[in-house]
Amino acid sequence: MYEKKIYRKDMLKCALCADAPCTAACEKLDPASLLRSIWFDNEKGAAARLPDTDVCAGCDGRCEQACVRHGQVPIRAILDKLRSEVKKDLETALPADEERLRTDLCGIPMENPFLLSSSVVASTYDMCARAFEAGWAGAAFKTICSFDIHEASPRFSAITGDTGTIIGFKNIEQLSDHSVEENMEVFRRLKADYPNKIILASIMGKDDAEWESLARLCEENGADAVELNFSCPNMADGGLGSDIGQVPELVERFTRAARRGTQIPILAKLTPNVAYMSEAAEAAVRGGADGVAAINTIKSIIDVNPHTYVSAPAVHGMSAVGGYSGNAVKPIALRFIAEMGHDPLLKNMKISAMGGIEDWSDALEFILLGAETVQITTAVMQYGYRIIDDLKEGLNYYLAEKSFSSVKEAVGIALESISETTDVLERDTIIYPRFLHHRCIGCGRCTISCSDGGHQALKLNKQRKPVLDPKKCVGCHLCVLVCPENAIVSSGIRVSKKEDTQAS
């Protein structure tokens, strides 16, 4: 069976270029596309696209010579690893079509579950059109309002990993700075040019009458559904944005107002800046919503400059609490989606999920917990609309591999394995770690972590390989997580704590 061995670390220096020179230099392959698939957890799709013959054999490495980081990305070695360790074990062919990806948004047919979420990535006709051409099924258009919007500069900041990629992202961006009339013209053009794509119109009103009128206008101008923005952390002054989402009574009131204005589906976009989301979701359903969109960004502060003492992004010596997004928020988003999925009062409510989705496997996690569609912004801001290729191919391949005939069959099937508390967990057995000495480089990181953060169950032998003391090991698997070479894995064998068993 295929064991995942291709990791981002094999290509950490790859810049994921636009119009990549490596592909321009290669006469037989599209190495940039293959590398991008590896980056976005779609190794199997990439391997399936590789020809059966080793076209790199005898090549003079033009792709590597053309690389913008010449000599730093071992393209041929990566592709050889893809062929030798992944392709040979593939048991499923690439699907010939994308029929498995078809789903719907509150009954509206969608060609796949992937939407742009309401933000700058879906704020003009040109941007949405290019996304639709790329393969996105629809877009939640940047929130429409009648407010006088004047944006700050700069308005983004981020936490980055060792490779410079964004882990967490902060914005102090507000709503659409185009007039309602201008945005309605965009809707009309998009619907005329892309009749099969979904337009989810995000709106924010200042009172009941405006919520109602904006919803009506969006339907009249071609929107397929309306998303009520009850969650923007950057529009909280005066009882707007997340101030609404924190008060179930207001969620119900303004949802009901929007429902008076339209017959098309309504989603309430809820804030994560609460202890529990179900109360607001229940209120939205009472008000007439067909579903919810969640989560929006989390109120945050990123960085405080040790010299200026100002947080980022700094605007003329000041900053503000803003919305946090990116892959770092995914665990929080998944928790809220599961919470609503477990609520019996929300049994028939539709969920459009977002929060830290970068690749198809991230999206799948939300689907398994009950979402029927997913929305993405931060990953698009970092990598572009082109990520849709691997989102679709990766999810489609997974569904085929698991013999699902439709993505709908996967919706919510993981919910029963999740509990809101740890009280239900079995606590009488241990699963010991297993050590793959052929991968171990003898760094000793596992022993440091076990000694200072665990239960002092590991030591290095004379060959600098870890040795386990099963009488001290509690099976926490901290060592599995910290090993930089993936040389420690779960044994998969559950042993009773009462047994005096020696771990291998």
> Which residues does the annotation mark as catalytic?
232
Q: What are phi and psi of 83, to 5 degrees?
A: -75, -45
Taking only Cα atoms into account, the Rg of the chain, rounded to an integer number of angstroms, comes to 25
Indicate the burial class of 156 (C-beta count within 10 angstroms; 0-12, 13-18, 19 or more): middle
What is the longest distance spanned by two Cα atoms in the chain?
77
Residues 6+ apart with CB under 8 A from 258: 203, 205, 211, 212, 214, 215, 226, 228, 266, 288
Token pair of 61 as six digits: 């490495």
Query: Do 115 and 128 touch, CB atoms closer than 8 A?
Result: no
Q: How far is residue 500's CA from residue 284's CA, in Å, rounded to a whole number? A: 55
Omega of the bond prior to 313 within 30 degrees of 0, cis? yes
Tell me how many degrees the CA angle 121-123-129 measures, rounded to the nearest 5.
80
Indicate the burial class of 4 (C-beta count within 10 angstroms; 0-12, 13-18, 19 or more): exposed
CA contacts within 13 A on the Cβ side of 171: 17
In the chain, the amino acid numbered 127 is M
Q: How far is residue 424's CA from residue 474's CA, in Å, rounded to a whole number? A: 19
**Helices assigned H by DSSP within 221-319:** 242-245, 248-261, 278-286
In the 8-state DSSP scheme, what is residue 314?
Answer: P
Indicate the burial class of 172 (C-beta count within 10 angstroms; 0-12, 13-18, 19 or more): buried
